[in-house]
Copies of this chain bind each other. A is one copy, B any other.
Amino acid sequence: MTGIVDSDSLAKTRLRLWLKLLKTTNHIEARLREKLRSEFDTTLPRFDVMAALSRFPNGLKMSQLSGVLKVSNGNVTGIIDRLVVDGFVTRSPVPGDRRAWRVHLTSDGRQEFDRQASAHARWVDDLLAGISPREAEMIIADLTSVTGPSGDDAHELGLEKEAT
């Protein structure tokens, strides 16, 4: 009998943790969205795409981009379309494979993203100001059991083989 009670209360604690995680990330995401919209007239998905591209100066193929961002293929198409219209991203053909496109930031895009990224880092720091570095490290360590360690994109994608 006590076995059931015990594992039940464990489950309840984990459910509370899940609800708290959800509430926290939703709260932070909502603030970041507001800020990106009001201060840079952009969106979180656009920011995410530009962040990914900024880490790969050689650009990425569409499928690599959706792989890095872990979103569906078709999703990225529309976001890139709009970033191209805004002059922040360009598509160039991949020599030797007429199916594929390589997308990368323009210098305008890089400039704009740099401004956005430093503001973004400030916002996050402010939003998490109530958490000490020691606590932060602890939480990071604990949560690593859920998703595994932070992946190395370049390694996952075999980009080390690419020419610069």
Contacts and interface: CB of A to CB of B under 8 A. Distances in A.
Interface of A: 9-11, 13-29, 70, 121-122, 124-125, 127-131, 133, 135-140, 142-147, 150
A21 B125 CA distance: 14
A124 B14 contact: yes
B14 A125 contact: yes
Nearest to A22: B25
A146 B27 contact: yes
B136 A138 contact: no
Given A28-B21, A125-B11, A16 B131 contact: no
A17 B125 contact: no
A57 B9 CA distance: 25
Given A17-B139, A20-B143, 15 more contacts: A11-B121, A14-B136, A15-B121, A17-B136, A18-B124, A18-B127, A20-B139, A21-B25, A23-B147, A25-B25, A127-B146, A130-B145, A131-B143, A138-B138, A139-B142
A143 to B, nearest CB: 5
A129 B140 CA distance: 16
Contacts of A29: 22
A125 B17 CA distance: 10
